[in-house]
Structure 1
């Protein structure tokens, strides 16, 4: 009976959303993963759908030269890949992966909605005459606000989704451990499906139907991603935040600067703290 009770819960420290030990038969495993995979597929479709043709949008609607548009998109893309540092830090140190994903998805969809409005709503949409557009400074600024909200959103969730999927499998259970590798295969498959549809169908829509539809569809798809993620909430397993490696690195750097002017450890003292809790000389 005792062994049966122990097998009822996961052994890797995961919990449900309320913080109670996760029940194996009710949470995680492949029953939770379809919602995570659908979220990832839709999010990647939304991201590549709005970004693949972004240089052309800036040239056509913001009346920017090729060099300026390319630089702006490069800077924005770089921001998208720097922001995961923030998302990873918040997830590891404070919020946990679930709440980090949930929070940044709201920022993400806000940016996509605003970007869609800049391409379709009068007043936010630049006035064009014979395919020559004349955007105001305010209209251009709104576009960049939308883009950097998207950068913050996609960067915030990027380091968390695959790890959150891995959390659904108990490493101490051999059968679940084997299924985890299969999850990653499906995870990357879902990314590529989203990217394929975005770089083919959505680019064609932007070029031949209009930018309002071309940005509106990614916004709707991202809304589906958000819904998919939240629908699976009751099934997810959660790892509690355990502190970020970035915090420890920062502490070491700060300590190094503080000690930079002090006298170094004597070689004869390196063995003196053997029986103390910390075995590094002069750390206090």
Structure 2
């Protein structure tokens, strides 16, 4: 294409995209139905995973719940069954590829085709890089990103065959913004966000427009994973408000869900504001939490 013509096409597309975004902002979004869909949620024993499972149960989805914690998994299943959902549970250690593939085969053989995959399982160690143990770093990458890849590879072929499905990546604001004393965790969550974006692009290139993707990036949640978090940015999020935003994103096929929504503007400002001013702004936010600092390398 002629460069001048290409520029005109780009500008025309840009104006159309802005107009389309404005219309979507003013009009109520169309929500899809998930009744009867087979939904698999990893890390479903507590926290966001349990709350997400409950939301799908309320919408009469069929549920497959995975977690390494058997007792919490059973409690989640009981709650979801009380809401009228059909529930199947599997004790799975998402840090182990073999367990993921084995459980996936059982799901496909005994239950059916997963059409909505919620990759929620996650682990965190709050410590400076040298105090974070090798096995803790490995675990964060195994659960926070590699597990996403293994589960997606297990269930994506059928979604592609049917050109129908939804893959949800539960990441974090730490996958968009760096935080001291969470180097390995931030790295794993940046990888999760990158996985979501690259997978979204690949599905588009393959013409699989019936498979949707959503990535969730919340700030600190009141789940107990991080001890005593605080920030001047606002209150620590409750799980229910985060899962409400996530479900809205899934039902309306949003690609990125920031909680709170202002995070998207913060991401833009980080790219536009000079580094010196950005550093001052970060200090003003005063993000704090309990972390192990200064204990030296511990392998």
TM-score higher than 0.5 here? no
Higher RCO, 1 vs 2 (CA within 8 Å, ≥6 residues apart) = 1
Between Structure 1 and Structure 2, the one with more strand by share is: 2
TM-score w.r.t. the length of structure 1 is: 0.30
Alignment TM-score, normalising by the size of structure 2: 0.29
